Amino acid sequence: MFVKRFCVLFIACLGIGCAVRAQTPDPDFYVFLCFGQSNMEGQGRIEPRDTIAEPRFRLLSAVDCPSLGRVAGQWYTAVPPLCRCNTGLSPADYFGRTMVERLPRNIRVGVVHVSVAGCKIELFDKDNYTSQVASSAGWMNQMIQAYGGNPYGKLVELARMAQQTGVIKGILMHQGESNTNDTTWPGKVKGVYDNLIKDLGLDAAKVPLLAGEVVHADQGGVCASMNNIIATLPKTIPTAHVISSAGCADAPDNLHFSAEGYRELGKRYAAKMLSLLGYPPLEKK
């Protein structure tokens, strides 16, 4: 009887041990959170070269996309569109592609992507976002509702899922056009960043914030003055780094980047992240 009970207990312990191991995050699976407005969402035209699959680059789908064979909350090979079902090429695309190209072969990269075109940074304020939802135009509200009416909440929900299988290494943001000339913007961004760090149990020193500039003055950017404010972000958030958009080609509206501009901007996000991870600078081509 003793032997039988011991065997049963031993087998049960083995089962528990396997379950614990199965839920242990893979330290070689680097996860990055991406959020913002239309330029992070991605407005670039997707070309055949952008759809060549890289199995080590993964996407945790934020929404159901039957036409793409995606279900919210599931991991897929990251092929554009990454944000929602009908968005375009975004900085996250070539951020991820560049990362896996440069990182050791045993490391995978995953992105969690939640963005809303036209939104102010206040939409990601976990305590006051409802006023932004209430005042949003119909076209924007449809995007917000795709995230259950709470984009910040959706971002955290997905990030927690991602933490079950990987390790969050950084946060990528591209937002500011709708807050142009708002000198309080850095403080508002800090509020969002601090909440993400707290809600996800992260160490800010190990999870930097990479914030991209809007279309630069050298491309005739209509919101280029916002870059002066974006430049001050590291003074408010010590772990923040500004990604230059100088020379990144833009679209005819001078508000969004072109596909080529998104590719270049994404590579610049990757170059900075790689350097923060201790890898050598990208070679200029």
Which of 263, 261, 216, 222 is closest to 242 using CA atoms?
Answer: 216
Contact 97, 57 (CB under 8 A): yes
Q: What amino acid positions are annotated as catalytic residues? A: 38, 253, 256
Query: What's the rounded mean pLDDT across residues 39-46?
Result: 98
Question: Measured between alpha carbons, how far is 140 from 138 in angstroms, rounded to an integer?
Answer: 5
Which of 40, 60, 56, 61 is closest to 97 using CA atoms?
Answer: 56
Which of 146, 34, 148 is closest to 93 using CA atoms?
Answer: 34
**Given this model, what pLDDT does residue 1 score?**
43
The two structure tokens encoding residue 91 = 């900085």
Question: Measured between alpha carbons, how far is 118 from 103 in angstroms, rounded to an integer?
Answer: 34
The CATH number of the structural domain formed by 24-276 is: 3.40.50.1110
- pLDDT above 70 (res 209): yes
Q: Is the pTM of this model over 0.75?
A: yes
Cis status of the peptide bond prior to 55, with omega within 30 of 0? no
Q: What is the pLDDT of residues 48-105, one digit of tens each?
A: 999 999 999 999 999 999 999 999 999 999 999 999 999 999 999 999 999 999 999 9
- pLDDT above 60 (res 203): yes
Report the percentage of the chain scoring pLDDT > 90. Answer: 90
13-16-21-24 Cα dihedral, nearest 10 degrees? -140
Contact 214, 38 (CB under 8 A): no
Integer-rounded Cα radius of gyration of the chain? 20
The alpha-helical segments, DSSP class H, found in the chain are 2-22, 38-41, 91-102, 129-135, 138-146, 151-163, 185-199, 226-230, 233-236, 259-276
- pLDDT above 70 (res 6): no
Residue 125 three-state SS: coil
**Given this model, what pLDDT does residue 283 score?**
64
Name the more confident of 132 and 7.
Answer: 132
Residue 244: burial class (beta carbons within 10 Å; 0-12, 13-18, 19+): middle
- pLDDT above 90 (res 10): no
The two structure tokens encoding residue 223 = 């919101």
Q: Compute CA distances 50 → 28, 44, 46, 93, 190, whole Å.
A: 25, 11, 6, 8, 33
Contact 116, 123 (CB under 8 A): yes
Q: Compute CA distances 90 → 68, 74, 162, 195, whole Å.
A: 17, 20, 20, 25
